Amino acid sequence: MRSTLVDFHCHLDLYPDHAAAVERCERDGVFTLTVTTTPKAWPRNYELASATRHVRVALGLHPQLVTDRAHEIGLWEELLPRTRYVGEVGLDASPRFYKSLGAQKEVFARVLSLCSAAGNKIVSTHSVRATKAVLDMIEQLMPPSRGRVVLHWFTGTAAEARRAVDLGCYFSVNAEMLINEKRAAITKTLPLHRVLTETDGPFTQASGHPATPSDVGIAVEGLARLHGTSFSDMSATILSNLKGLLAERS
């Protein structure tokens, strides 16, 4: 793996030119996990990424879309054997989506149960205003011996972060998390060997434009400052963490 940067949560199919976004990751050597929001989006994403060295595609069913897309869980289940990577999945209890939280939990429980049964899956997980519920479900349904959860854009408390670590979780950290003083303080407490980087592009900004995987260096810079180390050392640590995660077998 030649890449020196890691974007472990990005939505390449939501950029204006999906194919060009994939090509740019490959050209720039950024290991990118492109998540999908519905299983119907996965085949095209996989087609574009299948010939690349650096882009991998996760199979998702976004909690914010459960109201309209819960019926796609059957298709999600059909496609699961074709990928090791799952996401974006999880729970969102923010005001706009709270009404669907019960249905979200049903979908997420099925996702975790199926991933656990399959074994060896890596699950990029959304947990907005629902960290405790997400961790409860991970503890109940997907122990570390059956796969790994990567908590995307973690916004829980310091105690919840410690619990997540005990449950074997990794964390993908973006630049927005490091700008916020409270978030940065919690991020600094995370075991560095469990930390990856992400952009969540195109939902974040970099220099006035939607962030792309090549902008993930901003998060690396922020983590390097947070831990008092160099950019090169931090990028090497993140890459080592990724290799360690991918080498795990359950």
Q: The tokens of 247 are what?
A: 């080498």
Asked whether residue 1 carries a pLDDT value surpassing 50, the answer given is no
Tell me what pLDDT residue 249 has. Answer: 83
CB 177 within 8 A of CB 152: no
Where residue 114 sits, what CATH number does that domain have? Answer: 3.20.20.140
- By residue range, what is the domain housing residue 236? 5-247
DSSP assigned state of 129: T
Tell me what pLDDT residue 250 has. Answer: 66
Helix spans in 119-230 (H) = 131-141, 158-166, 175-179, 181-189, 217-227
> Which of 132, 131, 138 is closest to 116 using CA atoms?
138
pLDDT band at residue 4, thresholds of 50, 70 and 90? Answer: confident
Number of independent structural domains in the chain: 1
With 0.95 as the threshold, say if the pTM is over it. yes
CB 163 within 8 A of CB 155: no
Asked whether residue 8 carries a pLDDT value surpassing 60, the answer given is yes
Asked whether residue 3 carries a pLDDT value surpassing 60, the answer given is no
Residue type, 202: P
* C-alpha gyration radius of the chain: 17
Asked whether residue 89 carries a pLDDT value surpassing 90, the answer given is yes
Asked whether residue 46 carries a pLDDT value surpassing 90, the answer given is yes
